Amino acid sequence: MKNFTFSNRIRKLAEIAGPCNTMADIGTDHALLPIFMLKEGLCKKAIACDINESPLAKAALDVSEAEIDSALVDLRLGNGLERLQPGECDTIVIAGMGGLLIADILENGKKIFEKPCRLIMQPNTCRPELRTYLAENGFEISDESASEDEGHTYLFITAEYTGVKRTIDFKESVLGTKLQDKPEDFKIYCAELKEKYERKLDGLRMSQQDVSEEIQKAELILKEVRL
């Protein structure tokens, strides 16, 4: 039996995703999340999807070496949500990818949300763009969390498809509306934003172009995150 190491990020994803019946992990790589959730009894079955064959081969090996019933993990090769049918799973996780790729996967796989299904995302980049996509395409964010692990800040977004489309402003796209209720998480998230927007503002102030609008936006965020 292999000795698995599960990062705090994987543990946090599992805590948010579970307990559930069938979870689908899109871009599963080693299938660490499905393995952890099954080991901990946080899901009854898992569908582990990846676009590439080599991660799925590693996933198959890891599943066979984990102390779980390997029949409970269904490994599927495919792009995004294309190998899922509506109603097959009650929870979908798309983690460890850029926000634009996550939005693209949702855009191409909208039919899955004909049946109720919770969506958990952990975008590494382009978080404002992902929040904007979700709002404009009928997904409602019901929860957000942030955590820090080995020098990285991770954001976790839970959303449901409601079909109600709306536009959000720049401030909401950057800050969201849910983290503010969680002082510890908000502090972690703001520390990262502060560093990012201070660097951005320094760059903008040296620009020879008219970047006054960009400067205003950066100053707006910095005002919000100076806790």
Ligand X SMILES: C[S@@+](CC[C@H](N)C(=O)[O-])C[C@H]1O[C@@H](n2cnc3c(N)ncnc32)[C@H](O)[C@@H]1O
Return the closest-CA partner of residue 106 out of 47, 208, 117: 117
- Which of 97, 106, 155, 157 contacts ligand X by CB under 6 A? 97
Among 80, 109, 123, 128, binds ligand X (CB under 6 A): 80
Q: How far is the CB of 52 from ligand X (least distance, A)?
A: 4
26 contacts ligand X (rule: CB under 6 A): yes
Closer CB to ligand X, 10 or 135, in the complex: 10
Among the listed ranges 26-34, 64-72, 161-169, 175-183, the one in contact with ligand X (CB under 6 A) is 26-34
Token pair recorded at residue 153 = 């800040």
27 makes contact with ligand X (CB under 6 A): yes
Q: What is the smallest separation between the CB atom of 80 and ligand X, expressed in angstroms? A: 4
With respect to ligand X, which residue has the nearer C-beta, 10 or 174? Answer: 10
Residue 103: C-alpha distances to residues 28, 60, 74, 125, 164 (Å): 17, 27, 24, 12, 17
Name the one range near ligand X by CB under 6 A: 69-77, 94-102, 174-182, 213-221. 94-102
Q: Does 221 bind ligand X (CB under 6 A)?
A: no
Strands (E), 85-212: 91-97, 118-123, 139-149, 152-161
Give the C-alpha separation, 61 to 64, whole Å.
5
Is residue 50 within 8 A of residue 59, CB to CB? The reply is yes
Instruction: With residue 76 as reference, give the H or E element that holds it.
Output: strand 73-77
Q: If residue 73 lies in a helix (H) or strand (E), which one and from where to where?
A: strand 73-77
Binding ligand X by CB under 6 A: which of 18, 55, 123, 128? 55
Give long-range contacts, CB 8 A cutoff, 24+ apart: 180-184.
Answer: 182/144, 182/145, 182/146
How near is the Cβ of 97 to ligand X at its closest, in Å?
5
Q: Does 155 bind ligand X (CB under 6 A)?
A: no
Q: State the residues that interact with ligand X by CB under 6 A.
A: 26-29, 49-52, 55, 79-80, 95-97, 101, 105
